[in-house]
Structure 1
């Protein structure tokens, strides 16, 4: 038994090193892929042939990297792009722009963007949820509750809206009567 113990420890150590090595390699490959995509999009955007989709994708990558002010610039360019015609696509861009503003704690601007998204696509659940969040951050609890209840009207199983609306109902005496 005593002679097998060091072998067991060594085996466990090797397995742990292999597993952690696999996770590290996977993360490095993922990061490289993202950086390559980012670089390609930045080149396209610098050129004259960039599309609204290019600006939107670049803005999304910048949001993922938490570069919110840079993302705002790219998302605004996407909205101004002449090839952005479909209402659904515009709503996606407005929602992403609202998210970028909310991440910078510019809730008034975020609310405006979410409302623009909802004017194009009234049943856009993600924008409604985000609108509720922004209202909460502005301490506009009644409006936040309305937004979350609208989410539940379109998606009755939405966990975020259920949780937030229950919390807001407890805080708002008018809502419970």
Structure 2
């Protein structure tokens, strides 16, 4: 009987310990990255990749304003991943429900990189939040023109067409 109890206890606790270990590893890794970037002597020379990495850590911690400050301070600098900065800023503003600013930054990301799927998906989600189904449909059609195997865009278009049919049938 104690053997069965111990086996069931280990079977139950092992996955929990594994999940806790993975989360601790992620936290330590984030702390290590933040610590390395912030303890530098030349804080002025943080490159755009490190800034984006730091901002993404703050995003995971839901520190939207800190992330926005880091990203916006690096927008004016010359960098090759500016569309990712714009997309992250748009995401932050969307999370704090500043939808106009969010839309502006998503459109800036798409303007810099017209085939940037992440920004297109985020903009479509934003239009869906705003109940702007025409623009949402247009964005998903644009995504499918870029990547015709995009399952998420196909599913959303089907859902939007169903919603449109349901709205039209009530009239």
TM bracket, shorter-chain basis: 0.7 to 0.9
Q: Does structure 2 retain, via aligned residues, the 8 Å contact 1:68–1:100?
A: yes
Contiguous gaps of at least 5 residues in structure 1: none
Which has the higher mean CA deviation after the structures are superposed, 65-74 or 52-61? 52-61
1:43 shift after superposition: 3.4
**Matched residue, 1:154:** 146
**Matched residue, 2:72:** 76
Which has the higher mean CA deviation after the structures are superposed, 118-127 or 26-35? 26-35
**Matched residue, 1:133:** 125
**Matched residue, 2:4:** 8
2:33 is the counterpart of 1:41: no
**Matched residue, 2:110:** 118
In 1, distance between residues paired with 2:54 and 2:16?
31
**Matched residue, 1:165:** 157
Alignment: residue pair count: 166
In 2, distance between residues paired with 1:28 and 1:103?
26
* Aligned residue among 50, 55, 58 for 1:54: 50
SS of alignment partner, residue 122 of structure 1: coil
TM-score of the superposed pair, with normalisation by structure 1 = 0.83
2:101 is the counterpart of 1:105: no
**Matched residue, 1:32:** 28
Change (3 A) 1:153 1:114: same
1:125 shift after superposition: 1.2
TM-score of the superposed pair, with normalisation by structure 2 = 0.86
SS of alignment partner, residue 101 of structure 2: helix
Contiguous gaps of at least 5 residues in structure 2: none
Larger radius of gyration: 1
In 1, distance between residues paired with 2:105 and 2:36?
28
Displaced runs of 4 or more, over 6 A:
none
